Structure 1
Amino acid sequence: MSDVDVIVIGSGPQGLAAATSLACEGLTVLVLEKADHLGGAVVSAEATLPGFVHDLYAMSMNLFVGSAFYEKHRVELQENGLEFVVSAHPYASAFPDGTSLKVSTDEGDTLKMWRAHSSADAEGWQRLGQLYDDFTQVYFPVYSSPLPSKSIASAFRGLWKVRATTPPAQLLQLVLSSTRSFGDRYFTTPEAKSLAAAWGMHLDFAPDIASGALFPLLELYGNMRSGMSIVKGGAGKLPAAMARMIEVRGGEVRVGAEVVQIQTDGRKATGVQLSNGEVIRAQRGILTTTPLPNLVNSLLSKQSVPSKMAEAARTYGFGPGTFMIHLALKGPIPWLDQELSDVCYVHLAPYVDDLARTYQQAVAGILPDEPLVVVGQPSVIDPSRVPNPNQHTAWLEVRAVPSEILGDAGGDLSEISWDEARDIFAERIIDKIERYAPGFREQILAQVAFSPVDLERVNPNLVGGDSVSGSHHQQQLFGFRPSWSLNRYATPVNGLFIAGAGTWPGAGVNCVSGPLAAERLLRDTHPSKRAFRRSR
């Protein structure tokens, strides 16, 4: 395949969703992936021991399940082997005294939990429910649309509809609030405030960063309403199912194919060169999921990059790193609070000030002494991931850590590389879990850890181990992602389009930017439009 209609660079969920959308329109599509596997950050493998299947990076698929892409292609994806399992106990936060706050998809049970914990927090939780319902009426049309767009007008109409129950000023206040102020407004106990603030850290919203409240609200209530969805048998089945959709329509998905240059003819992007010297031409366009700085600095020649694109790449900011650990376990995690045994995500923070300190340490290059650990228990709801019924896997995400180590708040390590620190830091994390689950270490059969450096080695889009491909702070969100001059998925280079976590609506397996970028490519490169340009 030397000439195709469209080349897609990157086989993560956004790249595959874009390629699928284009293939469904009858275009010949070639997906090029540098790695030896599909999926970007949606990958599963027997990383520890044979028969133990681990989601190496992303695990929760709630955003995908709720996407328009999945709704449109659900039947074919299922026919291609994609199946989800859903946890009825999506998340919890555990605390040093052995207590926890555990959220259930049974809203009555969740309210009972809150009332047993604090009547004031129960009342705040109920108020949050009304806020969630009203806010999502306004926000979801914006989330699933390019920005800026007519979706903003829909949002203003939504404000009018919900004004009787939630004043527009209150919704605006939510969008601007930090997770600390959000928690203080609706909760009274430190445990409840921590439950909310922990969700902000999944992105890069420390407790005191403006606009951090948006994500916790969506996760707190959204996960309660829908449960936590993961792919049955491992996350890798999702990109595999999407790849089959592309191939059955005449497209090709090629792994081990590193693009080293996007070629231009002075007017538009024309094709790509691979690391083996092969040149492939694209008749309609090129769509990449590469973060903007990588795109500008590695794939485009300096003379082909317009000044506003170069400036946007220079100022694009990445967040702190992520540390991952995967464990094969001989039995379940022995939680002090046994009610946690069937929860999909357990947050170990423990409190809001700990989260704030962790983030500040990470951005200063200091290894945190008390980082947030998200303990995923996928085999509890998907036994197909383990060889024997009593065995389990654990998915540990540590947020946040420095991309480069300059010091150590724990006092054990200082000014050493991640390759030297990886295993020592992993033991610190296991020690922390041991305090919440005595005997945890004895359950470990095998383990593997990925430092921020490892994450970037495996996937260059995770710059500095930033698992969300760029900060989500307000200066780099909504229409400013990746920048105001490059929003709506087109670039100043004709025929070159961008999608991925570095574009709106940002991180997560949401399959929004891929299809939207595909729509933009179809519109901008339509033959009638090209003919009009030639006639001018």
Structure 2
Amino acid sequence: MADAVVIGAGPNGLVAANVLADAGWDVEVLEAQPEPGGAVRSDRGAHPGHVSDLCSAFYPLGVASPVMRALGLERHGLRWRHAPAVLAHPLPDGRCAVLERDPHATAAGLDAFGGGDGEAWLRLCRTWDLMGEDVLRALFTPFPPVRAALPLAVSARRAGGLRVLRSLLTPARAFGEREFGGPGGPLLLTGAALHTDMLPETTGGTVFGWLLAMIGQRYGWPVPEGGAGELTAALVRRLESRGGHVRCGVPVESVVVRGGRALGVRTATGEAVRAARAVLADVPAPRLYGGLVGWPDLPGSLRADVERFDWDHATFKVDWALSAPIPWASPEAGRAGTVHLSSGLDAMSVYGAQLATGRVPSEPFVLLGQMTTADPSRSPAGTESVWAYTHVPQRVKADAGPDGVTGAWDEREQDAMAARLERAVERFAPGFRSLIAGRRVIAPPAFPEHDASLPGGALNGGTAMLHQQLVFRPVPGLGRAETPVAGLYLASASAHPGGGVHGACGANAARAALAHASPAGRLLTPALAALARLVAP
């Protein structure tokens, strides 16, 4: 019998297990897949000579998160690699907006798009210098961020107070067009916001775009040397060095609940695994509530809330093995690890409108990763390992493009959508398709085959929009890892602060378990339960 059982060996589950192991707990992690990592894995599925990242690839939040930094994974074999430039957004006319590690270099490039745009960018950087680290501390701690709140309030006041807050809550496109004269700055901010399921006109998009862009300048958007799986391997090695265990190929079928308390889990083979102190679930909230834990063991009001849980968009991804680097018409794009492809803000807004109305976008906004540019170990010298993805509706109502995609995602539809992405790349890099030596398509139904926490390729564990953040994540309540079942904690991206490989959801769950297991926890548990009933009866 372990002190804690962790369901799922994704990054949040592994971080949670490490935090508990650091506190001296005996921890067992159970993973359904044959290997750990969840969405943080790599293989050679596109070509035997090229490493491809299965789902996630670049890790700006991983290097910025205080949680991940505190684990010291570099001491367990992790090596970060950076492309020469962080992010590029080429335009059809040959211009290219580039996010550099040096803010002044970024600003100089943006000045070519509009006089004064460089200074506008540096104003955003100064705001980050005043409050950015406090934002990160508040974001990656349990909600409400009591200890981090005062420093953040002080730094936010220095940065402009309510005026800054108002700006950050503005839709990304509106903010960009107001602050910049040319398209370069708005493209960088709006494209970064679209890494979530926020659209150019979504309230609060600016805060996500600003956060990712500023992290890129402060920390970069790095990749693990050798593949995404090396980040997972470092987490596992660290856990095992502290006595923790990971068992793969062991799907959990249910959480065992008696008298309102989680006692352990039962696996698909019928094995009972006891947990003396806590069960932590790195699974989506809709899979935990009404799934691993039956409705008879949960409050009646929770069922209606879970039925209203909103997923983020589905994902369509292609991995390519190229015989040479991408022949960009704009050479600056070749320096960036991540490249955003769209003909401009209008096209990005049309893409967003088509997604919002259930249509497969006719001109997809494409996020592309040049992995060998960032990490030369990913493929032989002179070649490139590349991926690209775009979002599609979870429920397809129609195809705004010419191919009649219905959402069946059979072989014809996969080929048609992959060709649509390839045309999008070819538009900015003539000759791209002639370099393809290998290809793998991952359509929405394939994502949960790799990781059950990614239904349709919903990469953020639920929408990032404001109605499902903070005290509303995953359902209206306290925004904490505690669940209605004593000793059971939600440790996945469905919990605050949400999607991204930052480990905070897992760490928050582990800290909650430690707190409730302490002598003071005898008071904490009933107090939080009463408060939860008060705010979400």
The answer to whether the superposition gives a TM-score over 0.5 is yes
Into which bin does the TM-score normalised by the smaller protein fall? over 0.9
Q: Whole-Å Cα distance in 1 between the matches of residues 456 and 436 of structure 2?
A: 29
1:148-186 Cα deviation digits (max 9, x unpaired): 2413333323334x1xxx321212202321111211221
Counterpart of 1:480 (choices 447, 472, 478) is 472
Q: Say if 2:82 and 2:337, in contact at 8 Å, map to a contact too.
A: no
Structure 1 residues 331 and 456: alpha-carbon distance in aligned structure 2, compared to 1, 3 A threshold: same
Counterpart of 1:450 (choices 439, 442, 449) is 442
Q: Are 1:409 and 2:400 matched, yes or no?
A: yes
5+ residue gaps, structure 2: 527-537
Q: CA deviation at 1:147?
A: 1.1
The amino acid of 2:93's aligned partner reads D
Q: Whole-Å Cα distance in 1 between the matches of residues 523 and 363 of structure 2?
A: 61
Counterpart of 1:55 (choices 53, 56, 68) is 53
1:391 is matched with 383
Q: CA deviation at 1:531?
A: 11
Query: SS state of the match for residue 48, structure 1?
Result: strand
2:140 is matched with 144
User: Once the two structures are aligned, what percentage of the paired residues are identical?
Assistant: 32
1:234 is matched with 227
1:53-92 Cα deviation digits (max 9, x unpaired): 1111111122112222333232xx3343211112230001
Q: Say if 2:131 and 2:152, in contact at 8 Å, map to a contact too.
A: no
Q: CA deviation at 1:198?
A: 1.0
Worse overlay, 370-379 or 97-106: 97-106
Structure 1 residues 38 and 284: alpha-carbon distance in aligned structure 2, compared to 1, 3 A threshold: same
Structure 1 residues 108 and 168: alpha-carbon distance in aligned structure 2, compared to 1, 3 A threshold: closer
Query: SS state of the match for residue 222, structure 2?
Result: strand
Q: Whole-Å Cα distance in 2 between the matches of residues 70 and 291 of structure 1?
A: 21
Q: Say if 1:361 and 1:368, in contact at 8 Å, map to a contact too.
A: yes
Q: Whole-Å Cα distance in 1 between the matches of residues 110 and 415 of structure 2?
A: 38
Q: Say if 1:88 and 1:227, in contact at 8 Å, map to a contact too.
A: no
Structure 1 residues 50 and 415: alpha-carbon distance in aligned structure 2, compared to 1, 3 A threshold: closer
Q: Whole-Å Cα distance in 1 between the matches of residues 131 and 342 of structure 2?
A: 27
1:271 is matched with 264
1:324 is matched with 317
Q: Whole-Å Cα distance in 1 between the matches of residues 407 and 174 of structure 2?
A: 36
Q: CA deviation at 1:199?
A: 1.1
1:385-441 Cα deviation digits (max 9, x unpaired): 11x21111002121x211233311112114350134112100111011111100000
Q: Say if 1:375 and 1:397, in contact at 8 Å, map to a contact too.
A: yes
Give aligned pairs, total: 524
Counterpart of 2:85 (choices 75, 89, 106) is 89
Q: Whole-Å Cα distance in 2 between the matches of residues 131 and 530 of structure 1?
A: 42
1:352-394 Cα deviation digits (max 9, x unpaired): 22222212222333111111111110101211111x2111100
1:5-27 Cα deviation digits (max 9, x unpaired): 10001111111000011111111
Q: CA deviation at 1:503?
A: 1.4
Query: SS state of the match for residue 20, structure 2?
Result: helix
Q: CA deviation at 1:312?
A: 3.0
Length-normalised TM-score, structure 1? 0.94
2:28 is matched with 30
Query: SS state of the match for residue 289, structure 2?
Result: helix
Worse overlay, 139-148 or 228-237: 139-148
Q: Are 1:283 and 2:280 matched, yes or no?
A: no
Q: Are 1:310 and 2:307 matched, yes or no?
A: no
Structure 1 residues 474 and 416: alpha-carbon distance in aligned structure 2, compared to 1, 3 A threshold: closer
2:101 is matched with 105
Q: Whole-Å Cα distance in 1 between the matches of residues 244 and 162 of structure 2?
A: 49
Q: Whole-Å Cα distance in 1 between the matches of residues 523 and 428 of structure 2?
A: 66
Q: Whole-Å Cα distance in 2 between the matches of residues 247 and 527 of structure 1?
A: 28
2:150 is matched with 153
The amino acid of 2:487's aligned partner reads G
Q: Say if 2:121 and 2:185, in contact at 8 Å, map to a contact too.
A: no
Structure 1 residues 321 and 259: alpha-carbon distance in aligned structure 2, compared to 1, 3 A threshold: same
Q: Say if 1:320 and 1:363, in contact at 8 Å, map to a contact too.
A: no
Length-normalised TM-score, structure 2? 0.93
Query: SS state of the match for residue 78, structure 2?
Result: coil
Equivalence map 1:209-220=2 (5 Å) = 209-220=202-213
1:418 is matched with 409
2:180 is matched with 187
Q: Whole-Å Cα distance in 2 between the matches of residues 228 and 416 of structure 1?
A: 32
1:523 is matched with 515
Worse overlay, 270-279 or 303-312: 303-312
The amino acid of 2:333's aligned partner reads L
